[in-house]
Amino acid sequence: MNPKYKKLFERSYIGKMPLSNKFIMCSMTTHAGDSGGLLLDDQIDYFEERARGGVGMIVLEGQFISSHIDRSLARMTASGTTEQSLRWHMAIERLRGFNAKLCNQLVVGSGRNGGVAIDNALPAPSVVPLFSDPTKKTYAMTKEQIHEIPKTYAISALTSKNTGFDCIEIHGHGGYLIDTFMMKLWNHRTDEYGGSTENMARLPVEIVKAVREAVGPDYPIIFRMASQHHFKGGRTLDESLEIIKLLDAAGVDAFDIDAGAYETWDWMFPPAYYGDAPSMDDAAAIKKATGKPVLISNNITLDSAAEALEKGKSDFFMIGRQLIADPHMIRKVLEGREDDIRPCIRCNEYCIGGPFKGRRISCSVNPQVLQEKAFKLEKTDSPKNVAVIGGGPGGLEAARVAAAKGHNVTLYEKAGALGGQVAAAATPPFKSQLNKYLQYLIRQNKKLGVRIRLNAEINENSPEIANADQIIAAIGAKPLMPPIKGIDGENVIEVIDAHLHRRSEIGNKVIVAGGGLSGCDFALELAMEGKDVSIVEMLEEVAVNAMIINRSALLKKLAEYKVQLYKGKKILEFTNDGVIVESKDGGKQEIQADTVIVSFGAQPLKYLADKICDKYPTTKAIGDCASIGQVGEAVRAGFYAAWAID
């Protein structure tokens, strides 16, 4: 093990419960339970793989305690029922042999962030609009209804203890019911449950006290909440500190600290733009306010965790998306194999975006999520000769998986280096995780003995592929350069060329022509370097195809670094002094710049892929040469194509 990570593996405690290391798996929905919310075998397999990977504790995804309080959950199986207890116990039995403690996160849901109820009635402290549908509103709970909640939590906590969980976590985060009580913007009550900080904290305090009475003095209780909401009217850090002191006195053993609410879900699921550990200073402030352990989440890395532990900023480190990307991350650190860790690229496309589309979670860089047994990589008894054409992320993943299965793999890349367009996209400092992932793929291919042939341009007549049993074409795409006057000017540079070859030619005043994700990312990168940057986009908005959470963060960063947006502007001509644009009303203007970066997207090299597929029926075309997509789409296509080779 690297000595700088040694303290992260010291045995430590939450209450009287020992943990083997400082890493805890966050509670994250898998969106994979049955119609009653019961754990399915795939979910248990998923948690087992993370327990096998060495994490100190796993917090189960939120388990709903009542189908009565939140009527949008009327079909859910509630805590205290035999059905739910049996499935909980099955999960516990499967994971008990590993050195991971198991925590049951208990959720009441509801509040303004609950789903639309079957009877259009969602409880909350006050009447406020629903987040998901502002035309509908919550109703103000009676005191009798409020008093039922601590009782229900107590039943659920005791059931959890009797079932075999090592501790429980009370969910008070994300703008759901408990969080709405703790916030003036959503709690307008004038009785003992609203007004002062003490009153707004009364319900969570009563829940903690009821749970403590039910489970006894030694059973650990963790409370999860946001340190601050990061939007106007949301709870501030100072307000949270006062609530935490009250919860501490009520009997909480540790605080699981996150940030944001649905209004600022870019803080709940921080994308690449926010860098490493953006909430760590909040954890440090909370540690000063309570003598109890603090568990901090949000883009935690090994180095940020080691530094924070050394400086006393946090006690434990919540890992969510990274353990989805690589369930064995902790074990690899313990064994000194950090180079073998598959990095999370913080894209949010499948882990968070999947449930948005009604799908189970998955991962851009790990398609085995929730299908650990179905997609197990096993050595073949009949190795094939596999040719992979293209050294971008899709081709590299295909080569890695095919080699891991025992096939003889040769990868051909027409350029002098691997990476494809990702090598360009990974240059900004906020894309460090993407660069780490690219380096991971390259290392794994070399370790697995993949024969890599650079400067090798392959077509359907190339003798190199004539004897391949299976061909995977990951040829990629070429930049789209429309026939606009002046686009070949000396001051006009295509975005990938600008990233990789002509960076030194970029002046101080820059126009990025094209406001897609690639153009916006490069504009932000240049602005962070101190350049005066503008984006010209023909559509009425920029980054329209970006994942919604990532887009929220990106727009904030573009504003922070004063990137000027010219939206609804069609470029008529590139000039020596910038561009001439036309608005939808026909008005024309010249926007000046020293350099213009062209980022109009890409065209699939489909014609070449089709020729190879026509000549060799065993060929599978993947990635951008089949359809332009994000990194995850190419990687997953590469995985599936290679996994299917018998």
CATH number at residue 545: 3.50.50.60
Q: How many CB atoms lie within 10 A of CB 502?
A: 14
Radius of gyration for the chain, computed over Cα atoms and rounded to the nearest angstrom: 27
* In 481-516, alpha helices (H): 495-500
Pairwise CA distance, residues 82 & 104, whole Å: 16
Beta strands in 393-460, from DSSP E residues, in sequence order? 408-412, 451-453
Q: How many C-beta atoms lie closer than 10 Å to residue 10's C-beta? A: 11
**pLDDT, position 113:** 83
The reply to whether 351 falls in a domain is: yes
For residue 646, count CB atoms less than 10 angstroms from its CB and return exposed for 0-12, middle for 13-18, buried for 19 or more.
exposed
Question: How far apart (Å, rounded) are the C-alpha atoms in residues 117 and 333?
Answer: 45
CA 609, CA 604: separation in Å to the nearest integer? Answer: 9
Residue that the structure tokens 């699939």 belong to = 604
Q: What is the DSSP letter of 563?
A: -
Q: Dihedral, CA atoms, 122, 125, 128, 134, nearest 10 degrees? A: -30
pLDDT digits 0-9 by tens, 12-65:
999 999 999 999 999 999 998 887 778 899 999 999 999 999 999 999 999 888
Distances (CA, A) of 327 to 196, 340, 545: 44, 12, 29
The range of the structural domain enclosing residue 351 comes to 3-356
Same domain, 276 and 425: no
Are 550 and 586 members of one domain?
Answer: yes
- Are both 31 and 109 inside the same structural domain? yes
Q: Domain end: 335, 356, 377, which one?
A: 356
Q: Which of 125-134, 191-200, 280-289, 478-487 has the lowest mean pLDDT?
A: 125-134
Q: What integer pLDDT is reported at residue 75 of this predicted model?
A: 66
User: Does residue 630 sit in the same domain as residue 547?
Assistant: no
Between CA 129 and CA 120 the distance in angstroms is 12
Residue 485, domain member (yes or no): no
Does 365 map to a domain?
no
- The pair phi, psi for residue 304, each rounded to 5°, is -70, -35
- At 153-203, the pLDDT tens digits run 999 999 999 999 999 999 999 989 999 999 999 999 999 999 999 999 999
> Is 378 within the bounds of a domain?
no
Considering the domain architecture, whether residues 258 and 233 belong to the same structural domain is answered as yes
Report the alpha-carbon distance of residue 521 to residue 515 in Å, rounded: 9
Q: How far apart are CA 38 and CA 153, in angstroms?
A: 18
Residue 67: helix, strand or coil by DSSP?
A: coil
Give the residue from 356, 376, 402 where a domain finishes: 356
The Cα–Cα gap between 76 and 616 comes to: 51
The yes-or-no verdict on residue 433 having pLDDT over 70 is yes
DSSP state of 503: G
Q: What pLDDT is attached to residue 64?
A: 86
**96 within 8 A of 110, measured Cβ to Cβ:** no
- Tell me how far apart the alpha carbons of residues 425 and 519 are, in angstroms, rounded to a whole number: 10
Give pLDDT tens digits for 297-315: 999 999 999 999 999 999 9
Task: Kindly report the backbone phi and psi dihedral angles of residue 234, in degrees, each rounded to the nearest multiple of 5, phi listed first.
Answer: -75, 170
**3-class DSSP state for residue 38?**
coil
Contact in structure between 471 and 458 (CB atoms under 8 Å): no
What 8-state DSSP symbol labels residue 40?
P
User: What is the mean predicted confidence (pLDDT) over 479-497?
Assistant: 95
Same domain, 184 and 240: yes
User: Residue 487, SS3?
Assistant: coil
Q: What is the DSSP letter of 167?
A: E
Sorted by sequence, the CB contacts under 8 Å of residue 129 that are 6+ apart come out as: 112, 135, 136, 137
Q: How far apart are CA 329 and CA 324, in angstroms?
A: 10
Of the two residues 67 and 392, the one the predictor is more confident about is 392
pTM for this model (two decimals): 0.95
Domain CATH number, residue 633:
3.40.50.720
Classify the C-alpha dihedral 80-84-89-92 as positive or negative: negative
CA of residue 163 relative to chain centroid, distance:
31
**pLDDT score of 81 more than 90:** no
Q: Is residue 128 part of a domain?
A: yes
Number of C-beta neighbours around residue 540 at 10 A: 9
Specify whether 143 is located in the same domain as 39.
yes
Candidates 131, 618, 70, 99; CA nearest to 389 is: 618
Strand ranges (E), 259-392: 294-296, 316-319, 385-389
Q: How many domains does one find in the chain?
A: 3
The letter for the amino acid at 599 is S
- Strands (DSSP E) contained in 384-468 are 385-389, 408-412, 451-453
Residue 67 — very low, low, confident or very high, per pLDDT cuts 50/70/90? Answer: confident
577 and 611 both lie in a single domain: no
How far apart CA 561 and CA 551 sit, in angstroms, is: 15
Same domain, 203 and 311: yes
C-alpha distance from residue 607 to each of 126, 242, 394, 476, 551 (Å): 61, 64, 18, 11, 33
Q: Is 77 helix (H, G, I), strand (E, B) or coil?
A: coil
Q: What is the CATH number of the domain that holds 179?
A: 3.20.20.70
Please tell me whether residues 74 and 137 are part of one structural domain: yes
Side chain identity at 17, as an amino acid letter?
M
Cα–Cα distances in Å, from 573 out to 168, 505, 631? 63, 21, 32
The SS3 assignment for 4 reads: helix
| % the chain with pLDDT above 90 | 87
Q: Contact at 8 Å (CB) between 228 and 175?
A: no
Within a domain: residue 464? yes
**564: helix, strand or coil:** strand
| 411 occurs within a structural domain | yes
639 and 609, same structural domain?
yes
Domain-embedded: residue 633: yes
Q: Are residues 581 and 611 in the same domain?
A: no
- Would you say 436 and 423 are in contact if contact means Cβ atoms under 8 Å apart? no
φ and ψ of 326, to 5 deg: -140, 100
- Is residue 118 packed enough to be buried (19+ CB in 10 Å), middle (13-18) or exposed (0-12)? exposed
- The pLDDT score that the predictor gives to residue 471 is 97
Task: Express each pLDDT in 117-135 by its tens digit.
Answer: 555 678 899 999 988 888 8
